[in-house]
Amino acid sequence: MDIQTLKQRYDIIGNDPKLLMALNKAIQVAPTNLSILITGESGVGKDVFSRIIHENSTRKHVRQGRGLISVNCGAIPEGTIESELFGHVKGAFTGADRSRKGYFEEADGGTIFLDEIGELPLAMQVKLLRVLENGEIIPVGSSTPQKIDVRVVAATNVDIVRAVREGRFREDLYYRLNQLSIYLPPLRERKEDIPLLFRKFSSDVAEKYHMPPIVLTEDARTMLMNYPWYGNVRELKNITEQIAVVETERSITPDILQNYLSYIPAERMPALVPDSPAPAVASQITDRELLLKALSMGQMINEMRGEINDLRHMVQQLASLTPNSSPLSTPLSVRRGTGGEADEEFVTPEIIEDEAISLEDRERRAILRALEHSQGNRKQAAADLHISERTLYRKIKEYNL
């Protein structure tokens, strides 16, 4: 099958050299039994390529299984993924009232597409490696290996080489899956294909809902091509459909288009149209980010307030823990403030006698006094100082006590 026929059959739009190279690889490797690793960002169409590989192989006529089985490894809970992949026997665990085939057994004779393979837990990676090397599965609760004939096509949107380097993905499994790799470029690397895809999606909507298709002005076309498209083809399709259905105007200008594009965080937003003003929504996004930062700062302030209160309690207790304390050793509560507002502070004789003593020195002395008074019992010392043990431990480490 030639590339043009392949594109028409699977409704693939675009002439980018990287896309054409990926299609050529897929059609060339399809008749083999090699394990394939498809890499690329979310939304680039990795599932379409798994269909291309399976439907152009000898396994497309499989009878005993279901042909192509697609599994999203990232969507299955870790506690059940082994049973989902390899099946289980009756009584293997609570609730297993009957035996059940796993995805591998269902795909026997055909192809299994393991999407988001980078999310597979390490324990399961070991078991998958055994399946790939020996062609055997062992259902949960069974001790008898079962032979299967399954071709594996895996896909991931993570940097799998980096995951191997960081120990999150087994190197031996990576090489076993990657007998041949196919890279699908993100949409922002296929800029010339973007208007073609937009026209295709807008025509589909027009035909489905019996309305005139939408068209882009030249400036809107430039904006569309310069947009980063972090959601790739899936995002472009969704946005095109939204514009076609919502907008009454069929000629789409940059003013209309930016209402659908400018929700990307400001720091990730490129210059969409050269020498054009930034979209109005960008300032709103900045305000949202500032609000989030303010909330984060508020949490930090609350934590600092807690630390200050802990310090106040320590300073307050310092005098009461001093042997032969006089009436003046009792902390004095004074109120200070401006503009009619008052803040309560604790003042001890030690602070009055020596204002030059640093805050750290006072804190250190209070901790030492408390530890001496409790004979080294940190829990008691923390209670005497009215602070948490965690805070006390941190301060002891900080002052090397």
pLDDT for the residue 317: 57
Question: For residue 180, what are its two tokens?
Answer: 């041949």
> What is the SS3 assignment for 115?
strand
Q: Name the nearest CA neighbour of 228 among 201, 286, 267, 279.
A: 267
pLDDT for the residue 131: 93
**CB-CB neighbours of 263 under 10 Å:** 12
pLDDT for the residue 332: 40
**CB-CB neighbours of 22 under 10 Å:** 23
DSSP 134: H
Instruction: Locate the DSSP E strands across 277-331.
Output: none
Give every residue of the chain whose pLDDT is below 70, as ranges.
62-66, 262-359
Containing H/E element for 25?
A: helix 17-29
pLDDT for the residue 2: 86
Question: For residue 279, what are its two tokens?
Answer: 């979209």
Q: Hey, what domains does the chain have and what are their CATH numbers?
A: 3-185 (3.40.50.300), 190-278 (1.10.8.60), 304-398 (no CATH)
DSSP 384: H
Q: Name the nearest CA neighbour of 38 among 24, 22, 54, 27.
A: 22
pLDDT for the residue 101: 92
Q: Are 84 and 69 in contact (CB under 8 A)?
A: no
pLDDT for the residue 283: 37
Cβ burial, residue 153 (10 Å; 0-12/13-18/19+): buried
| pLDDT, tens digit, 9 for 90 and up, residues 20-56 | 999 999 999 999 999 999 999 999 999 999 999 999 9
pLDDT for the residue 301: 53
Q: Are 348 and 365 in contact (CB under 8 A)?
A: no
pLDDT for the residue 387: 78
Report the alpha-carbon distance of residue 105 to residue 351 in Å, rounded. Answer: 77
Report the alpha-carbon distance of residue 389 to residue 108 in Å, rounded. Answer: 59
Which amino acid, 276? Answer: S
Q: How large a percentage of the chain has pLDDT more than 70?
A: 74
